[in-house]
Amino acid sequence: MTTLVATNRPAAVSSEDLLSPSWAEVVDIKQEIEKTGTVWLRFKDPALQKAYTFAPGQFNMLFLPGYGEAAISICSDGEKRDTIGHTVRFVGNVTNAISRLKAGDTIGLRGPFGTHWPIEQLEGKDILLAAGGIGLPPLRPVIYHILRHRAKFGKVILLYGARTPSDLLYTAEFEEWRKADIDIQVTVDRADDTWKGQVGVVPLLFYRYRFDAAKTAVMTCGPEIMIRFVVFEALARRIPADQIFVSLERNMKCGQGSCGHCQLGPFFVCKDGPVFPFSAIEPYFSVEEF
């Protein structure tokens, strides 16, 4: 089963130091929606900040002394190298502590880890992005990449769903993305009085389109149940399984396929993923509780 090629580690990140953090300063923290915010970081060591690169879809381990560490995907533009953004949903001990950070505070960072969305291999294709809830932040660096190289891609569609209208992320940017000819379809599970858009789950949005299956690549991130049905809809439209890319979530501790927590069959999701071609994980993804 072929997984994606490992993303090159920035030369400045020593392989001897992968188990201990480097320190970064909180440049800004911005509330996005209720219980979710984006924390912008800059390494205290300017040389490290300068040398630090990541690819869309990779993640960092964020460490708050006394609280612990959490795997958070990078949501910022890989070409804007002065700060590193992480949109965090405040649900657990570490992420709630992150929510209380202020500009100037210190945080530990290890990374970047994992494979990336293989966007550089998908030039010339129609791109379908399908995101649910907090699954949009790991895809945002791909959108920034597409905006920068828009002519290299065919149709670009973003299907995005959240529980309610007030749970939608990054809506202020949608207009700019639409101007760059990204077709954005938004749906919510439960509407409120203000909502004039689509109601229902993300996979339902597939019915609005006819796809050129051989020319289309899918990238999806969100709740596992949503991923399952997005993949189902894509396969039903004859989009090849090796052109469907999914980003998975697992308990992660080390980030380099050593501690064993994130295993899915033969894969360490932190190292061989989080981004997989569906063809690689197909035999295991369908097994319940595996």
Residues that bind another protein (CB under 8 A): 1, 6, 15-16, 18-23, 44, 63, 65-66, 68-69, 89, 91-92, 95, 106, 108, 223-224, 249-251, 253-254, 256-261, 263, 265-266, 271, 283, 287-290
Least gap, CB of 243 to another protein (angstroms): 23
Q: Three-class SS string for 193-207?
A: CCCCCEECCHHHHHH
Least gap, CB of 139 to another protein (angstroms): 17
156's tokens: 């670009």
Beta 244-247 vs 216-221: how paired, if at all? parallel
Question: Could you give the C-alpha distances from 278 to 125, 260, 273, in angstroms and in order?
Answer: 17, 21, 11
C-beta of 94 vs 122, nearer to another protein: 94
Least gap, CB of 72 to another protein (angstroms): 11
Closest C-alpha to 245, from 268, 270, 222, 211: 222
Question: Could you give the C-alpha distances from 202 to 7, 69, 131, 197, in angstroms and in order?
Answer: 29, 31, 8, 13
C-beta of 108 vs 240, nearer to another protein: 108
C-beta of 126 vs 167, nearer to another protein: 167
Question: Could you give the C-alpha distances from 133 to 79, 237, 270, in angstroms and in order?
Answer: 25, 24, 21
Least gap, CB of 57 to another protein (angstroms): 18
C-beta of 42 vs 125, nearer to another protein: 42
C-beta of 1 vs 27, nearer to another protein: 1
